[in-house]
Chains A and B, each alone.
Chain A
Amino acid sequence: GESVGLHLPTLSVQEGDNSIINCAYSNSASDYFIWYKQESGKGPQFIIDIRSNMDKRQGQRVTVLLNKTVKHLSLQIAATQPGDSAVYFCAETPRIYHGNKLVFGAGTILRVKS
């Protein structure tokens, strides 16, 4: 597949298990964080976001956790499905403004085994 040869961190999970994808960020001024999912041959797709005044936010089957003390962000996916297989990116920005400079992390490959 497209991930062959990529040296991104890879998480392999069994279908139905929960997945946790981690992201460390370096800019302590970052105020807004987002997770994106990129399937093979497609553009990134928004999953969930969180502002720095929160430490947890839940969506449908996904939860984002933010630990500002250690500058760490995680994405939890419940009951992982084959369709969740993709590259996952965290992104951050110091502030949301009309131009929106999002800085993306390196990405993590999620492989779901059936």
Chain B
Amino acid sequence: DTAVSQTPKYLVTQMGNDKSIKCEQNLGHDTMYWYKQDSKKFLKIMFSYNNKELIINETVPNRFSPKSPDKAHLNLHINSLELGDSAVYFCASSRSFSGELFFGEGSRLTVL
């Protein structure tokens, strides 16, 4: 039973398209995150939500819009995809006030 699951695992799309990645956690955590990992393995936080409230919103283009319908779900919608958006996107969750993040397996986005 996967703790943090995200779909799809792979996404190949054309520039200019809009796509979404979904994430669900069954750990009962209050906080969820989106991280982006580039081709050099560099991991950078994009957003974090606590109890459905946006807490962290890093310098991310407005084309990226997270949405948390409830504490167990955090989705990421990307408009007008660009080549530079190609990366692996990781969803994670944690208890509030904990640095122990539980990551999903990642969604590899390739923009052609």
Which listed residue, A6, A43, A89, touches B104 by the CB 8 Å rule?
A: A43
Residues of B within 8 Å of A, CB-based: how many?
28
Q: B92 on the interface (CB 8 Å rule)?
A: yes
| Across-interface contacts of B50 in A (CB, < 8 A) | 98-99
| A 86-109 to B, binary, CB cutoff 8 A, 1 in contact else 0 | 010101010011111111101100
Q: B56 on the interface (CB 8 Å rule)?
A: yes
Task: State whether A42 touches B41 (Cβ < 8 A).
Answer: no
Roughly how many angstroms separate A91 CA and B30 CA in the complex, as a whole number? 21
Task: State whether B101 touches A102 (Cβ < 8 A).
Answer: yes
Q: B62 on the interface (CB 8 Å rule)?
A: no
Q: A112 on the interface (CB 8 Å rule)?
A: no
| A 12-24 to B, binary, CB cutoff 8 A, 1 in contact else 0 | 0000000000000
Which listed residue, A6, A43, A45, A49, touches B99 by the CB 8 Å rule?
A: A49
| Across-interface contacts of B102 in A (CB, < 8 A) | 46
Q: B48 on the interface (CB 8 Å rule)?
A: yes
Q: A41 on the interface (CB 8 Å rule)?
A: yes
| Across-interface contacts of A103 in B (CB, < 8 A) | 45
| Across-interface contacts of A41 in B (CB, < 8 A) | 105-106
28 contacts between A and B (CB under 8 A): A6-B41, A36-B101, A38-B41, A41-B105, A43-B104, A44-B101, A46-B102, A49-B99, A87-B41, A89-B43, A96-B98, A96-B99, A97-B97, A98-B31, A98-B55, A98-B97, A99-B31, A99-B50, A99-B56, A100-B33, A100-B56, A101-B48, A104-B42, A104-B43, A106-B40, A106-B41, A106-B42, A107-B43
